[in-house]
Amino acid sequence: MDFAQRIADLRKELEKHNHLYYVLSQPEISDYNYDMMLKELEKLEKEHPEYADPNSPTQRVGSDLNVEFVQVTHKYPMLSLNNTYNEDELSDFDERVNKDLADSYRYVCELKYDGASISLTYRNGELLRAVTRGDGVQGDDVTSNVRTIRSIPLKLHGSGWPEEFEIRGEIMMPHAVFDKLNEERVEIGETPFANPRNAASGTLKMQNSAQVAKRSLDCFLYFMLGERLPAQSHFENLQKAREWGFKVPPYVAVCDHMEQVRRFIEKWSVDRDKLPFDIDGIVIKVDSLTQQRQLGMRAKSPRWAVAYKFPAERVETRLNSISYQVGRTGTVTPVANLEPVRLAGTTVKRASLHNADQIQLLDIRVGDTVFVEKGGEIIPKVIGVNMEKRPADSQPTQFITHCPECNAELKRNEGEAAWYCPGENDCPPQIKGRVEHFISRRAMNIDSLGEGKIELLYEKGLVHDVADLYSLKYGQLFGLEKVAVDEDGNIRKTGFRERTAEKILSGIEASKQAPFERTLYAIGIRFVGETIARKLARSFHDIDKLAKATFEELVSVDEIGDRIAASVVDFFGRPTNRAIVERLKQAGLQFASDESAHQVKSEALKDKTIVVSGVFSIPRDDIKKMVEEHGGKNSSSISSKTDYVLAGEKMGPEKLKKAETLGVPTISEDEFMKLIGG
């Protein structure tokens, strides 16, 4: 076989299907067939490292290595655009263009994407470098992270591109990805991202590209720079860029006069809510590159383009009071209770105040007339105060010092903005929140129990912790009822009829068969989501071993960092938690892994801790699975307790150096296979 040709053919075919799937949304093959081609390419690249290529499709998954970003000076400064907010300012822009150009001109109108700006440099048709905007003069080299974004081509299609050029655009997080990410953050007790822009920007600056790859970022490209571009028309260059494989957005219009520009703005000011991503305005550019050069630049912005910003969806209303909500993990969040007001098609009665620092920064006081905005945020937020309408007798807001639910003195960890209630075993919202988490679909999935019923069980003294659920009897449930009036004056009934009581008890009984990893997730250890629960269950096999694990043993597990390890140690260090776990064990819940699920094949690696790093002939997850199948334990970091470092291709030099310093043996993939008898 001509290995070089086969590798080249596979790369070309995989890039084609990447483009069809991620850019055109027109897949032609199944995920399975794609994966089989990718595995074949990975195997060939492993066997023939002389054909290594950083732009190979196999490099899309990113690296586990942490990297410090290098500052790169932009060849062409990344300037900002002047913003306009009304039609008069737009007309002023057009008049200036008309005055400075002798010939006729046309505009290209594009959406103004709300993400993180990026500049991509290509040389000889391959991605060379990706740099953030930074301060406009220089930015961070984030090439390793950008390579994981599948809508960005690593190699260009077709032909005719300049030897070297830049193309700029916006890296974004689609709404669906953003919503899923925030669900996961809430699940492990972390603060959700405020909006997709912040999430995209934060992801792009993560120092672990393997984690970036999991975030499913997207990218639109909309501006090309270089010495020998294919055309002197901005619009025509974008069409060429699309032919080369770039994801050039279809939301664009060529306009011969300002009336067409206005119609484009009007259309998208209405239709923007239908888009699967955020925009905050329209960009208007002179199409001719020759005319762009004639118009020139200001110090910080081009004279040939302007951004029309959509007015923020903002209203004024009175702040009637501030209340404080306590979450499942004890975090106290201030909430503005507002005079009801219409905003973005809904009636808003509450808005987030985020934390004590935000209240102090904006000097928000009860009785103020506040500005409330909803622009890509999860919930409306107060963004400022109309000082002209402030009552003369207003008083500065004093953030509460004690929990509004249990009166425990609030605490704040160093470096954190949020205050929290430490009374986790006496604070009703925390107790009910933990029970609600325990019964949720992705945890124990107990049928017919929901928020209202948990509250009723708590109020009646039947459930004070998750273990109490397994002591419930039919006679306690049947006939219980609560009648309440909600904030809109509607009567709400919560109760347990015969069938409901039976279904609840059946669901509780069925939950005893949930596997260890789901039970571990359900008991609500802070920062332990579904994925981490699986890692811990697979590494320690039963709750007793996990409860006795030291901080050092925990951080040696793949993907378990200091914060998670400290949280696990703290959880099992509390007598109340240990008692609840013991009662759950007595009730019959699964607190040990089904050994058959691990398919242990030998004890060749019994009590051995292995660090797997680099690229192998088979997926790294398969290698890690083999470690466990033969009695070993995976670790993500090298320490004096590491028994072997299994080194693949492209393993980071820092890890190799650390292994040598600590005297940890380094073995190859072949040596590993011999070790396990394969």
Establish whether 155 is a catalytic residue. no
Task: State the Cα–Cα distance between residues 634 and 610, nearest whole angstrom.
Answer: 5
For residue 100, the cross-strand partners are none
Residue type, 347: T
Pair 118, 168: CB distance under 8 Å = yes
Task: State the Cα–Cα distance between residues 369 and 103, nearest whole angstrom.
Answer: 51
> Which uninterrupted H or E stretch holds 362?
helix 356-362
Pair 217, 150: CB distance under 8 Å = no
Task: State the Cα–Cα distance between residues 299 and 297, nearest whole angstrom.
Answer: 7
Give the chain's count of helices (H) and strands (E).
25, 23
3-class DSSP state of 376: coil
Task: State the Cα–Cα distance between residues 578 and 576, nearest whole angstrom.
Answer: 6
Compute CA distances 347 → 81, 334, 378, whole Å: 34, 20, 15
Look at the block and give the residue holding tokens 């960092």.
Answer: 561
Helix 562-572 / helix 575-587 crossing angle, nearest 10 deg:
80
Give the CA count within 13 Å in the CB-facing half-sphere of 474: 7
Cβ contacts of 33-38, under 8 Å, gap ≥ 24: 37/10, 37/13, 38/14
Burial of residue 661 (CB within 10 Å: 0-12, 13-18, 19+) is exposed
**DSSP class of residue 480?**
-
Residue type, 475: G
Task: State the Cα–Cα distance between residues 57 and 148, nearest whole angstrom.
Answer: 9
Q: What is the DSSP string of 77-143?
A: --PPPPEE-SHHHHHHHHHHHHHH-SS---EEEEEEE-SEEEEEEEETTEEEEEEE-TTSSEEEB-H
Handedness of CA 349, 355, 358, 359 (dihedral sign): positive
| Beta-sheet strands, E only, within 353-405 | 369-373, 381-385
Look at the block and give the residue holding tokens 């949280």.
Answer: 567
Compute CA distances 107 → 84, 171, 220, 282, 288, whole Å: 16, 24, 20, 12, 9
Task: State the Cα–Cα distance between residues 247 and 172, nearest whole angstrom.
Answer: 12
3-class DSSP state of 475: helix
Task: State the Cα–Cα distance between residues 654 and 651, nearest whole angstrom.
Answer: 9
Task: State the Cα–Cα distance between residues 3 and 47, nearest whole angstrom.
Answer: 10
The pair of structure tokens assigned to 416 is 């954190």
User: Which residue of the set 46, 112, 247, 285 is catalytic?
Assistant: 112
Look at the block and give the residue holding tokens 């094949």.
Answer: 601
Residue 482 burial (CB count, 10 A): 14
For residue 645, the cross-strand partners are 611, 666
Q: Which residues are catalytic?
A: 112
